[in-house]
Amino acid sequence: MKKYKKLISFALASSLAVSLLAGCGKAADGGSTSSGGDVFKIGGIGPITGDNAEYGMAVQNAAQLAVDEINAQGGINGYQIEFKFEDDETDAEKAVNAYNTLKDWGMQMLAGTVTSGCCVAVAEKTVADNMFQITPSGSSVDCVKHDNAFRVCFSDPNQGMASAQYIGENGLASKVAVIYNSSDIYSSGIYETFAAEANNQPFTIVSAEAFTADSKTDFSVQLQKAKDAGAELIFLPIYYSEAALILSQSATLNYAPSFFGCDGLDGLLGVENFDTSLAEGVMLLTPFAADAQDELTQNFVKAYKEKFGNTPNQFAADAYDAIYAIKMAAEDAKLTPDMDVSQMCEAMKASIVKITLNGLTGTGMTWEPSGEPNKEPKAVKIVSGAYTSM
């Protein structure tokens, strides 16, 4: 039996050698294209397999949609854009691999990554290469700590703070329960600032219960505790796929508090086959609503549905805005594809703080040099299966 090990080792070792050589070949290509092409190469990174695939795919699709639109209108400064999206499986190490793959391809600017943990790891690499980065949805504080990184979405602390203030100022409830995902950066980040800000607000948190990525099917305990504590409102700083389960289990328990969420909850109505009556009265602070009446949103939603067959969520909207932000800043900076990555980054950094973007996730969006966007969160309420502004 052991005899073959040698043969197999040889086979494996030779395939290894081949793969190494293949890697070298790629290096040569990468080197030549990054300097002096006639297209802009924009990369994107996010999970398109694994647990968070639906969020990554939304970003991939919407960014591609924006790129196609821009190309059809003549591109940026007369140059076409090439867009390439790589999978990171929501793993920081894989995200860095994806980033390196894109670099070999000749990426000049990065519209990514989708999730916070990966974004922090990749931001460390983009700052070393001085590459311009704008993340659609990386919301943790550290995502934009370097000056080459910007984001489209709100930061976690910002959302936690805004939610607590909104609930307090509008007197939505006096007893609030929180259900959050303690194994998720986004969710625990929002929860922390929410809890801190709650001390300054006229409501009390009567129960704060967590769940983890490994036990996110049953929420009966969390709901029962909120019910026993007499919570009138449950704050859900989580994504919509878990929220859909919470809503249906709450209905089974005959417990009907108000629900309040952040931008992660957007997409709830897009869950295929979801009984929207369960979501009646759910409030959320989100910059984007797929059934908003403005022309931009309607065109986007129509085009997205035609092309990909489902309703875009806030991830998609953020990605779409990210590409348009790149376009606008690049036009302001008079960028040409023959500039090198670092020159581009410097020019983009100077320009992005000057632009004002009327995007899907906010009108009159501007950026701070710190990387944060300035836009107003909109509070919306789900009434008869549709968002209504509050």
Residues 51-90, interacting with another protein (CB under 8 A): 51, 53-54, 56-57, 86-87, 89-90
> Which CB sits closer to another protein, 165 or 188?
188
Q: How many CB atoms are closer than 10 A to CB 152?
A: 31
Q: Which of residues 155-194 bind another protein (CB under 8 A)?
A: 181-185, 187-189, 191-192
Residues 260 and 233: beta-carbon distance below 8 Å = yes
Q: How many residues belong to the site for another protein (CB under 8 A)?
A: 97
Q: How far is the CB of 3 from another protein (least distance, A)?
A: 6
Q: Which of residues 230-249 bind another protein (CB under 8 A)?
A: 240-242, 244-245, 248-249
Q: Which residues contact 117 (CB under 8 A, 6 or more apart)?
A: 90, 92, 140, 185
Among 45, 48, 161, 339, binds another protein (CB under 8 A): 48
Say whether residue 22 binds another protein (CB under 8 A). Answer: yes
Among 68, 69, 124, 291, binds another protein (CB under 8 A): 124
Say whether residue 273 binds another protein (CB under 8 A). Answer: yes
Residues 353 and 333: beta-carbon distance below 8 Å = no
Say whether residue 104 binds another protein (CB under 8 A). Answer: yes
CA torsion 291-284-50-214 (nearest 10°) is: -150
Cα–Cα dist 375/136, whole Å: 14
* Three-state secondary structure call for residue 80: strand
Cα–Cα dist 230/296, whole Å: 42
Q: How many CB atoms are closer than 10 A to CB 175?
A: 16
Q: How far is the CB of 285 from another protein (least distance, A)?
A: 21
* Three-state secondary structure call for residue 366: strand
* Three-state secondary structure call for residue 13: helix
Say whether residue 111 binds another protein (CB under 8 A). Answer: no
Residues 6 and 14: beta-carbon distance below 8 Å = no
Say whether residue 217 binds another protein (CB under 8 A). Answer: yes
Q: How far is the CB of 104 from another protein (least distance, A)?
A: 5
Among 59, 67, 114, 120, binds another protein (CB under 8 A): 120
> Which CB sits closer to another protein, 191 or 324?
191
Q: How far is the CB of 376 from another protein (least distance, A)?
A: 27
Q: Which residue's entry shows tokens 């966007």?
A: 373
Residue 229 has, within 13 A of its CA and on its CB side, a CA count of: 21
Q: Which of residues 303-332 bind another protein (CB under 8 A)?
A: 310
Among 175, 225, 378, 381, binds another protein (CB under 8 A): 225
Say whether residue 197 binds another protein (CB under 8 A). Answer: no
> Which CB sits closer to another protein, 90 or 351?
90
Would you state the structure tokens that stand for residue 320, as one six-digit string?
A: 């779409």
